[in-house]
Amino acid sequence: MCGEPCDKRATVCLSCAPEHHIKGRELGPGRYVNRGYAFVRVPGDPRGLYRREHIIVMERHLGRYLLPGETVHHKNGIKDDNRLENLELWVKSQPAGQRVEDLLAWAREIIERYGP
């Protein structure tokens, strides 16, 4: 759009991306879709002006921001179906080849974080 070079996989540069997606796929004021995911405008959020709606829904449900290693999964595979009953919290597991004592410490941390 602006003539600046962009990544070979992208169609627009990063500075034009929000404007491009809003103009082309706007769902309403402050809401648009990109690659199937709904994004919502969140002024003043330290993590960005536009954020994925499913993450916001889960964070509001949890009452906190997602922690490192946590992701939100759409149960039915429809990326813009952001009803809470369609979302589940996933946690990435530790990589293979861990010492037993490290795995035990990680397991205790998971139990403390998410409860029995």
68 plus 106 within the same structural domain: yes
- Residue 51's DSSP bridge partners are 40
Q: CB under 8 Å to 101, separation ≥6 — which residues?
A: none
56 plus 76 within the same structural domain: yes
Dist. CA 96–CA 114, nearest whole Å: 22
74 plus 84 within the same structural domain: yes
Q: CB under 8 Å to 43, separation ≥6 — which residues?
A: 49
For the segment 10-21, what is each residue's pLDDT rounded down to a tens digit? 555 555 555 544
For the segment 42-89, what is each residue's pLDDT rounded down to a tens digit? 988 888 888 999 999 999 999 999 988 899 999 999 998 999 999 999
13 plus 42 within the same structural domain: no
The answer to whether 54 and 87 have CB atoms below 8 angstroms apart is yes
> Which residues span the domain enclosing 91?
36-114
29 plus 50 within the same structural domain: no
For the segment 23-41, what is each residue's pLDDT rounded down to a tens digit? 446 777 888 888 889 999 9
Residue 21: what pLDDT?
47
What predicted TM-score, i.e. pTM, was given to this entire model? 0.67
24 plus 50 within the same structural domain: no
18 plus 56 within the same structural domain: no
The answer to whether 94 and 109 have CB atoms below 8 angstroms apart is no
Please report, for residues 12, 13, 24, 67, the alpha-carbon distance to residue 28 in angstroms, rounded to integers and kept in the order given. Answer: 22, 23, 12, 29
Q: Provide the number of structural domains found in the chain.
A: 2
The residue with greater pLDDT, 24 or 116, is 116
